[in-house]
Amino acid sequence: MGSPMRRAVFLDRDGVLVEDRNLLVAAEAIRILPGVPAALASLRAGGFLLVVVSNQAVVARGLLDEDGVRGLQAEIQRRLVQAGAPELDGFYFCPHHTRATLERYRQDCACRKPRPGLLLQAAGELGIDPAASFMVGDRVTDLLAGAAAGCRTILVQTGQHEAPPIETLEPVREIRPDFVCPGLPGAAGWILEAV
């Protein structure tokens, strides 16, 4: 008999954990959003895995390589832990874009949100049940990816929620999130009450 499936909170990075600086390419530009470390700690205490799923077009544009993205994430993780957050359980990112500057990243992939590839990959590798999980994002494409993976969805209003949708080949449709709140602390409170 296999081990029971686990539940997770999937988190977009820019605009959920850190300020969305449009294109984050340097550690000195990292700004952890207010209340994020405590919110992550409460979710972990509630039994959730914490998994970041992020589009990183900076790679496709040649502004940062994949190791550079991982290095920035390690610095974000270090700062979160220093502020009282638990270690995150996974970091999954899409380096692709259909109009990438670097040809090797110019593709119509399954991992660029609004497609659910990153969430499904994490679910398979970490033993996560998407139906018992949540996707927290600041853009409609985050919500679409979460819903397509089978998660409940939460929109945080941290700056980019009113921005035009990111460029994607498929049409971006309207989606009603399960919950809307100002930031991750509100999302964490709702998630813990909903389970």
pLDDT in tens, 105-118: 999 999 999 999 99
* 178 annotated active-site: no
What is the arithmetic mean of pLDDT over 3-20?
93
Taking only the tens place, the pLDDT of each residue in 134-164 is: 999 999 999 999 999 999 999 999 866 666 5
Please enumerate in sequence order all residues whose Cβ is within 8 A of that of 193, keeping only pairs 6 or more positions apart, or say none: none
* 142 annotated active-site: no
Q: Do the beta carbons of residue 21 and residue 29 sit within 8 Å?
A: yes
Q: Is the pLDDT of residue 169 over 70?
A: no
What is the arithmetic mean of pLDDT over 52-78?
97
Q: Is the pLDDT of residue 1 over 60?
A: no
The proportion of the chain whose per-residue pLDDT surpasses 90, expressed as a percent, equals: 85
Residue 49's pLDDT is what?
A: 98
* Choice among 3-12, 67-76, 142-151, 159-168 with the minimum mean pLDDT: 159-168
Taking only the tens place, the pLDDT of each residue in 41-53 is: 999 999 999 999 9
Q: Is the pLDDT of residue 124 over 60?
A: yes
Residue 164's pLDDT is what?
A: 59
> What domains appear along the chain, each with residue ranges and CATH number?
8-194 (3.40.50.1000)
Q: Is the pLDDT of residue 87 over 70?
A: yes
Q: CA of 114: how far to CAs of 101, 135, 169, in Å?
A: 21, 12, 10
Marked catalytic residue, from 14, 20, 138, 178: 14
The whole-angstrom separation of Cα 176 and Cα 93 is 24
Residue 18's pLDDT is what?
A: 97
Name the token pair of 114: 């609004």
Name the token pair of 125: 């590798």
